[in-house]
Amino acid sequence: EEKNKQIEQKQKELDAAVREKSTMKTEMLEMRRQLETSRREKAAAVRHARVEERKQKAAAVRHARVEERREKTIREQEKAQLEHELEEQHREKTTLQQQVQELQERLAVSRTATEEIRQMLREGDEVLSIPSRDIQLTEQKLGKGSYGEVRIAYWQGCPVAVKMLY
């Protein structure tokens, strides 16, 4: 009987050890499952972080490209404006050059006329008589007297005063 009790005791201890081993095995399997789940979640979080980082980089690149296009458009508008202003200045320069040329021509004509008048006066003519076909008379009156009126006219491109007798 003592032996039976010992065998029974040993059997109980063995059963308890088997149950403990089974419990430990179950706990270990649960821990492995949790560890694997944790690894998957961590890998998913890392992938998600990488995706978000790529999205942010892509958004930054898109923003930079939009900004570059905007700046390029502004530069092109400024260039067009400057080209327009340059063209305007060129036209103004051409106009001014033409005006200078015309004034130089008028000055030359005026000098010639002045020299002709001086020559006539040196020759002793007190009254200067110019053929009417050489004078362009205007309607502008400078004055009026008892013998006639004085008007502005042009002789050889120069403004002169002409006394018209009644």
Under 8 Å between Cβ of 145 and 139:
no
Q: Rounded to an integer, what distance in angstroms lies between the CA atom of residue 96 and that of residue 102?
A: 10
- Using the predicted structure, report yes or no on whether residue 125 has a pLDDT greater than 70: no
Query: How does pLDDT run across 26-49, given as a tens digit for each residue?
Result: 999 999 999 999 999 999 999 999
- The reported pLDDT for the residue numbered 109 is 83
Contacts of 121 (CB under 8 A, 6+ apart): 128
Rounded mean pLDDT of 160-164?
88
- The reported pLDDT for the residue numbered 155 is 84
Run of H or E residues at 149 = strand 148-155
Rounded mean pLDDT of 133-143?
92
Using DSSP's 3-state secondary structure scheme, residue 5 falls into: helix
Rounded mean pLDDT of 148-161?
89
- The reported pLDDT for the residue numbered 128 is 64
Q: Rounded to an integer, what distance in angstroms lies between the CA atom of residue 40 and that of residue 34?
A: 10
Which structure tokens are listed for 104? 């130089």
Largest CA distance in the chain: 180
